[in-house]
Structure 1
Amino acid sequence: MAVDPKKRQKKLQKKAQKRKQKTVVKKQAKGLRPEKYLEHPIIDCLVGASVDKVGMGSVLLARETPYAEVAVSAFVVDTYCLGVREAFFTVMRKADYLSKLKPMLTKTHAEGVNPVEPCCARKLLQGAAAYAKELGFDPAEEYWRVEKLFGDADPARCETEYTYGHEGKPCYVQGPNDDMKTVRYVLERLTERVGEGNFDYVVEIDGEQQASRPELLEMLE
């Protein structure tokens, strides 16, 4: 099926704008230190239900300060392959957290978000990062700094057992910000680490999602 060039260009422009906005937020938040907020109580620890269903979703931890502010660490976790794809820390007005960030998190997860114990959220993230590391992928640049907001939450105290990969092997699902250069890199690294045929993938080619097929690897070369 042919792809409308105008629609594709519009889609690429939207992605570029989102990346620009994220860069601004990251620069603003980089000077903040999560460990400065550990004395404040946790008011939310949430995991998107999509993590269980499709292997990808958000994890959020929030602590409330006495100054009507909320310190937030947020992550995008990929339990099927890449581990912690995104991580950022910010401090915002409580009113903005309640009226904007938290509703946005809920809205972007059609399956909903679930409250979990901080020790379990941390266990989920650390396990995903470790699994991805075995496949040759590092977590998001800010991950280890951002996750300090968990404080003394001990993953060993979590009784939930998390599984990584899909049906026993890695499965790469192209994200909305993954260009073809990223796709090629991920598939090449998986081929090196586990061998062709020992992983699955879902990528977009000419505007259509394509699942694992040997000939697709040749098309991406």
Structure 2
Amino acid sequence: MNIEQARFNMIEQQIRPWDVLDQDVLTLLTQVKREAFVPEAHRALAFVDTQVPLPGGQSMLEPKIEARLLQELEVTRDDRVLEVGAGSGYMAALLAARAQRVTTLETDATLAALARENLRRAGVVNAKVVEADGSKGLPGEAPFDVIVLSGSVAELPQALLDQLKEGGRLVAIVGQQPVMQAVLVTRTGASAFQRQVLFDTVAPRLNGFGEPTRFAF
């Protein structure tokens, strides 16, 4: 397989048609090597428009989903980012290339170790993996400019919304199969949040997140 040709095709045939037009994001996708974060057994799927299986029943999201969420967040060099669901570490690597610092939470010890090693091998120095319950966030280090849920939840935990700075942004895939939506939430005041639906999709449930008990909005 010609890896660079496969990467080019992924960007031009999958990602750009999904309205990912930010040139900085597109360039970043050529610089952060996705194949280095894909488990060896599934390396052939690195550039395919599909979820890639990970240990513990988790998955890497489709490349177009990752790219679109990254674009919508408009991460800047001064941003402190919290990711929930480290997976293979790929999304953390993308975020770290644009942010000041990234902390990614993972409940599964195997995945946490995988993400930590992948980030180390990729030379990412401003991202750390913490083995913790992502549904509670990281209140000791809050507030965050950006929060990313790299998987689906039935509803958005208030604990995570409360850890956003005013003006901060959160993206998540919310709902239950077969109906889920990627949403962007912006904190507009002490107890005010603006929610925007981005697109319909389906993603695996994040570890540690249960089914709905109440609605956050």
TM-score normalised to structure 1 length: 0.31
TM-score normalised to structure 2 length: 0.31
- Whichever structure has more helix as a proportion of its residues is 1
Could you say which structure has the greater relative contact order, defined with CA pairs below 8 angstroms and 6 or more residues apart?
Answer: 1
Structure showing greater radius of gyration is 1
- Whichever structure has more strand as a proportion of its residues is 2
